[in-house]
Structure 1
Amino acid sequence: MSLHLAARLTQVLLALALIQQSLEHLSVSPRNRPLFALRIALCAAVAAGVFAPWPLVGLALLSLVLLTRFQGPYNGGSDRMGLLALWCLTLSALVPSPRLKELFFGYLGLQLMLSYVVSGWVKIVNPDWRKGVALAQVFRFSAYPVAESLRGWAARPRLLLAMSWAVMAFELAFPLTLLWRPALIAGLVVAASFHLANACLFGLNRFFWTWLVAYPAILWLQARLV
């Protein structure tokens, strides 16, 4: 996969993810509708590939306005990943040097890998995760719209212990997938399935779309390094 193709795929995926987020705001936030209507228009231009790279520049500048308006990335990790992808794409598109273009875009792929490894490390050093207690609490006390039948999983300690270790092992072993292309593709399928399950079970839909945005970057990075 060439840098141009990978960056273009990332741009389209990011535009679609930001449009989905912006539509949510249009329906519930009248005060901020002009800002999110503008973001939708800029995203449409990015997806269509017109006036490049200026729609990306516009989105990057608009992100600063939104950060000020909401006093930071209010939706946590998914917003941070979206901002990272946006700025990596913008800088990669603006710099004239081919090496700098690769550096900025490759940084997005590197951060995607680290997001899994760091998450796994944070879990495995936590005794509650090693014992399966943390996952039981997620099902028992989560404020997200978990079905009542799924809350019953909190009473199945052996299952939750196995699930906890499966998640931690996958996240910590994720860098090994960079050694072999089929392994990376399989790893990304598993990771996407994990995010999709979280979206369906807990309503974390933004994480699914935003993390998917960075997948072309890590696929390009793996081909570039190996």
Structure 2
Amino acid sequence: MKKIVIAIDGFSACGKSSTAKRVAAKLNYAYIDTGAMYRAVTYYFLENYINLTNPKAVEDALKKIHIEFHHNQRSESNETYLNGLNVEDEIRQMRISDKVSEVSALPQVRSCMVEQQRKMGRKKGVVMDGRDIGTAVFPSAELKIFMTADFETRSARRQKELLEKDQLVDLEDIKKNLLKRDHIDTTRQENPLRQAEDAHVIDTTHVTLDEQVDMILHLAATKIIDNEPSA
């Protein structure tokens, strides 16, 4: 059976990662969390006091960054490793969320991560979620999804997600963070967040996670059949 690339883009806290993980598991595809890659870079920059306004410092730092994903058998999930260390918990903190869009907007960071993401998806059979997967990383992806949800729903989901990680964050602070990230993501010069012309839009405001997964699996089945060689 031919394998395809499934690109899932959209705003923060729309359910992209949760949906992408389940879709990948159902199809036995690799799941690549590009947001985690940018978070890992942000974590490295903060830990090493990298000056974001110094292009040379940013370029030198990127040469020292190696990101991998390893499957955790116990939790049945992929975890992010930065230079050999598991940083999955660290990169989900609000201090990372506050800076990740700013770091992601840097052209050197964008270029470095896009190159790595293309290498990861070269053999196909991947589900990749992020901000510019269908428009910049894999513009020829066989299936493109653009996920959205209303702002209040996204804010509540992000607060719940943080609470599940034992992080109590005021809802107003979460809203400020999402507004800031939305602005940076949609206005940056380097591959801004936008809907690809051939993307299928899924509004997750009133849709359950299972329903989101089923929608994408249905679309994927059609694309996989279309991608099969003629007899």
TM-score tier by shorter-chain length is under 0.3
Could you say which structure has the greater relative contact order, defined with CA pairs below 8 angstroms and 6 or more residues apart? 2
Larger helix percent: 1
Q: Computing the radius of gyration over CA atoms, which structure comes out larger, 1 or 2?
A: 1
TM-score (norm 1): 0.28
Larger strand percent: 2
TM-score (norm 2): 0.27
